[in-house]
Amino acid sequence: MLKLLLTRARQGSRTSRFPAEAPVLPDRFRGPPLIDATKCADGCRACAEACPTQAIRFDERGPEVDLGRCLFCADCESVCPTGAITHSKEYRLAARSRDDLLFRNEMKPRAAALDAAMRRLFGRSLKLRQVSAGGCNGCEADVNVLSTIVFDLGRFGIQIVASPRHADGLLITGPVTANMKLALQKTYEAVPAPKIVIAVGACAISGGPYIGHPEAGNGADSVVPVDLYIPGCPPHPFTILDGLLRLLGKIDENGTALATK
């Protein structure tokens, strides 16, 4: 017992002060790719060709990155002959619509909160059932850590629960494989209405590395309606937490904590 108490004292208090304080991310953290089109050589498409998920597209307005497809892998940056691509340090990436993930060097408005009626229902207590539908265990792992003492999801009134019957919504990872489609549909139906769906990671948003595979679908919104998209491969835990708090209206556009009633 004494040993336990000593250990407890040594381990200390480790819960992050987010959102009151911004998280400290590693210097090599990769946010969305920023493409300086003025540096692009004429007709060069090296980045688009190197992109494993065809996330980069060129049109008359220049390059556009689909953050729903992006794996944040830097393959584009490493092939760019003119050094036009860098990665921003932005981690606040969640969006309410698929279109809001189309990125031209500037985030569209960050994810808006649920409407007042839904916020009244879920704002102080949101229970989510997680469904992995072909996820590689990367997104699952970084959802799981939200329940550790570092992130302490419970202090925001959010909890991952064991049954869809106990849940207010689903948090989906993976591209939705053919073999998981029915199970996902049934789990969705088992959640009492009104309910929300959150798609976490490139797979759940677009199919990710498996885009176009007949064995894997192209994301959750081909099966169920999605209310919040959180991009990344996998998204950083703070990216996921930021998205959840925005959805519940607990932080404002800049990330400042709002008092909840």
Distance, in Å, from the CA atom of 127 to the CA atom of 36, rounded to the nearest integer, reads 42
Residue 3 or 261 with smaller CB distance to another protein: 3
By CB under 8 A, tell whether 155 contacts another protein.
no
Site for another protein in 84-123 (CB under 8 A): 87
Structural tokens at position 137? 């265990």
Distance, in Å, from the CA atom of 35 to the CA atom of 85, rounded to the nearest integer, reads 5
Between the CA of residue 251 and those of 108, 111, 160, 244, what are the distances in Å? 17, 10, 20, 10
User: Which of 223, 227, 228 lies closest to 207, judged by CA?
Assistant: 223
By CB under 8 A, tell whether 57 contacts another protein.
no
Distance, in Å, from the CA atom of 23 to the CA atom of 91, rounded to the nearest integer, reads 9
Q: Among residues 53, 206, 218, 239, which is the contact residue for another protein, using CB under 8 A? A: 53
User: Which of 167, 124, 123, 160 lies closest to 143, judged by CA?
Assistant: 160
* CB 102 to another protein: min, Å: 21
Structural tokens at position 133? 């539908």
Site for another protein in 30-49 (CB under 8 A): 30, 49
By CB under 8 A, tell whether 234 contacts another protein.
yes
Distance, in Å, from the CA atom of 35 to the CA atom of 47, rounded to the nearest integer, reads 10
By CB under 8 A, tell whether 2 contacts another protein.
no
By CB under 8 A, tell whether 131 contacts another protein.
yes
The reply to whether omega before 19 is within 30° of 0 (cis) is yes
By CB under 8 A, tell whether 29 contacts another protein.
yes
* CB 95 to another protein: min, Å: 21
Q: Among residues 3, 17, 61, 155, which is the contact residue for another protein, using CB under 8 A? A: 3
Structural tokens at position 228? 């919040």
Structural tokens at position 207? 């199919």
Q: Among residues 86, 112, 213, 255, which is the contact residue for another protein, using CB under 8 A? A: 213
Whose tokens are 């199919």? That residue is 207
* CB 200 to another protein: min, Å: 11
Structural tokens at position 249? 């209206």
Residue 103 or 173 with smaller CB distance to another protein: 173
By CB under 8 A, tell whether 208 contacts another protein.
yes
Binding site for another protein (CB under 8 A): 3-4, 7-8, 10-11, 14, 25-26, 28-30, 49-53, 71-75, 78, 87, 129-145, 147-150, 160, 162-164, 174-175, 177-180, 183, 187, 208-210, 213-216, 233-234, 236
